[in-house]
Chain A
């Protein structure tokens, strides 16, 4: 069902937890669908460029939701914000050696959570951190989660 890489990232996920003073927080998903993902970033200026110095995640969800969170934080760490924004759901799925079709929305969620965290940082916290919710998974119409 899952690739070895997914299982590896699920059983031994990287970058789990919360940062002491995050510069940006992005939280996406919906408990009704069974997935909520939160990404926190610490940003540092290096040679005039903004770089993701540290990144942490917390995820409520299935194994692939946790594995995609772990993977996207590994891909984003040390990247500039522009580079991080270019990480796509396809990159995440590819790095994980594929995801079951029914779980592809998890990589979508990971991409959204990272972008939400960057948005939150760029708007200096003015942009709410739980704003990019979109449901991709279960195909049911569910209420958009209010902040």
Chain B
């Protein structure tokens, strides 16, 4: 099997797995216990916290470990809203991950007002639109760093600057970009940042939320007062250790290699398959590992399943919406027609992919697209 679905999840790196193992059956103490075994766990936990903090130029006490990106996003958005209730307005974009949009929609039910900003044809938010949307009532701006479906990178430094000037909290979901695009929370004026582990060769079920010191926020999950009282629940020590290891071993060289492979795949698809449309930005405005194409005249699921039969794992739009019938909300917000949006496939790379695999992929993809187009009553009229 050849895996091109690394925006959905990644292989746990061998080194990561090795780093985690002692915390299952050897040093399995609760990090809150004051005996020796508990303190071993505590030490590992705090070491991991420092690694994560350093990677984004934050302080260790500004890092709250969570169960992953979805929890971090829910916590950030809902908690900021409820902790700053004198203001009732939130700004986000139309292309956010479902957990951000879902949190915002839920807040609307609780009486909050939400502005969903449009994006350009590449899927990027214009910082000027954020500026224009901010009112005296705005308590939070939440804009993703890089898009999970099309890989377009937002100018969050500019958005951060605008928010800081307007004294509005700025949260960014960086699940896809973390360790792939440099993030400096101080320089970028970020108040809250969501990151997670399983997109960067760490284990599933662990993530973190950076919360800038002095941010007005209260706990969402109450209990024993873990994570500075902001997120109770016994810490997932092995997962957190693995998460930190995956950050430690992330290497700039891999990013450059992935960007080259990405462009190779894009060029190869354009050269070998007619009537395709690349969705999203190009070059430095695109995540190093994301390729997203619409294949005119056919539907994405068929392509996915036929590729799967040949041993290639890819995704239609976002993995989370693969059981939904709706066309991607991201592609529609970018202005694609429904029928074109339905025909999109995301190929997402990792450091484990190579050129040979891409050659094999395109070789198998070509006849699959031709076969499905032969079956489609829309291809001829759509390709005009």
Q: Which residues of A contact B (CB under 8 A)?
A: 1, 7, 10-11, 13, 16-17, 27, 31-38, 58-63, 65-66, 100, 102, 137-138, 140
Contacts and interface: CB of A to CB of B under 8 A. Distances in A.
Interface residues of B, number: 23
B187 to A, nearest CB: 43
Contact of B301 (A33, A59, A62): A62
B342 A13 contact: no
A46 B11 CA distance: 62
B374 interface: yes
B267 interface: no
B298 A60 contact: yes
B355 to A, nearest CB: 28
28 contacts: A7-B305, A10-B305, A11-B309, A13-B375, A16-B374, A16-B375, A17-B374, A31-B337, A32-B338, A33-B325, A34-B338, A34-B342, A37-B377, A58-B377, A59-B375, A59-B376, A60-B297, A60-B339, A60-B377, A61-B299, A63-B301, A63-B302, A63-B305, A66-B302, A100-B323, A102-B323, A102-B325, A140-B326
Contacts of B324: 102
Contacts of B297: 60
B375 A62 contact: no
Contacts of A11: 305-306, 309
Nearest to A13: B375
Interface string B7-25: 0000000000000000000
Interface of B: 297-299, 301-302, 305-306, 309, 323-327, 337-339, 342, 374-379
A58 B302 contact: no
A13 B376 CA distance: 13
Contacts of B306: 11
Contacts of A140: 326
B254 to A, nearest CB: 33
B299 A138 contact: no
Contacts of B339: 31-32, 34, 60
A31 B305 contact: no
B377 A36 contact: yes
A38 B325 contact: no
The 4 closest A-B pairs by CB, nearest first: A31-B339, A62-B301, A58-B377, A38-B377
B146 to A, nearest CB: 26
A61 to B, nearest CB: 5
B375 A31 contact: no
Nearest to B324: A102
A11 B342 CA distance: 19
Contacts of B375: 13, 16, 58-59, 66
A108 to B, nearest CB: 13
Nearest to A64: B301
A137 B377 contact: no
Nearest to B323: A102
A10 B303 CA distance: 11
